[in-house]
């Protein structure tokens, strides 16, 4: 049975959530899928935008990063890395993923997916799942990270012990 990776973090405020996303950004690349779940207002878009902004800024780009709530997908080019940010809340059927081209993007782009449950069985099994829930203070977030296999644990070790996070 494959090893499972699981970690729980407390992100103390929006700045800590942004810092965590920014620290993760350089560790992610083509073919990586990050599945962001949580209720409306949990911080999924905030996390995704901070990560995208970090990747774009690293190559000298400063672009507006709108939420893909109505477009379903926003694409960005950060040097040789294509980034797809998807908000699948309005997706009515997992089959719609094929029309968006998201199933193909899994192989060549960094994919950040909000509302990944809408994909059903089409979500890649090696995705990193980050479930965000409200914390003790209004802007605090609890982040539960989960993935199949130990590869994610090794890749994320440098960001899992930052000053801005507490671990359960």
Q: What is the largest CA-CA distance in the chain?
A: 44
* Beta bridge partner(s), residue 74: 85
Give CA–CA dist 85/74, Å, rounded.
Answer: 5
Closest alpha carbon to 20 in 138, 132, 147: 132
Non-local CB neighbours of 92 within 8 Å, separated by 6+ positions: none
Q: Contact at 8 Å (CB) between 51 and 21?
A: yes
Q: Based on the structure, what is the number of domains in the chain? A: 1
Half-sphere exposure of 121 (CA within 13 A, CB side): 0
User: pLDDT confidence of 1, banded at 50, 70, 90?
Assistant: very low
Structural domain span for residue 119? 4-167
Query: What CATH number should be reported for the domain holding residue 46?
Result: 3.40.50.300
Report pTM. 0.91
User: CB atoms < 10 A from the CB of 100, how many?
Assistant: 16
Residue of 168 and 68 predicted with greater confidence: 68
30-82 pLDDT, tens digit each: 999 999 999 999 999 999 999 999 999 999 999 889 888 888 999 999 999 99
pLDDT of the residue at 66: 87
Percentage of residues of the chain with pLDDT beyond 70: 94
């Amino acid at each position: 049975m494959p090893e499972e990776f699981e970690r729980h973090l407390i992100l103390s405020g929006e700045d800590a959530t942004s810092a965590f996303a920014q620290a993760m950004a350089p560790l992610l690349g083509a073919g990586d899928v990050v599945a962001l779940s949580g209720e409306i207002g949990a911080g999924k878009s905030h996390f995704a935008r901070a990560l995208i902004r970090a990747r774009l800024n690293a190559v000298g780009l400063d672009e507006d990063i709108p939420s893909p709530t109505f477009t379903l997908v926003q694409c960005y080019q950060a040097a040789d890395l294509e980034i797809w940010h998807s908000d699948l809340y309005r997706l009515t059927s997992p089959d719609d993923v094929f029309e968006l081209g998201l199933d193909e993007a899994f192989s060549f782009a960094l994919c950040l997916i909000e509302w990944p449950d809408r994909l059903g069985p089409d979500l890649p099994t090696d995705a990193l799942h980050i479930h965000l829930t409200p914390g003790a203070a209004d802007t605090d977030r609890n982040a539960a990270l989960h993935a199949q296999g130990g590869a994610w644990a090794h890749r994320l070790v440098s960001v899992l012990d930052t000053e801005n996070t507490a671990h359960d």
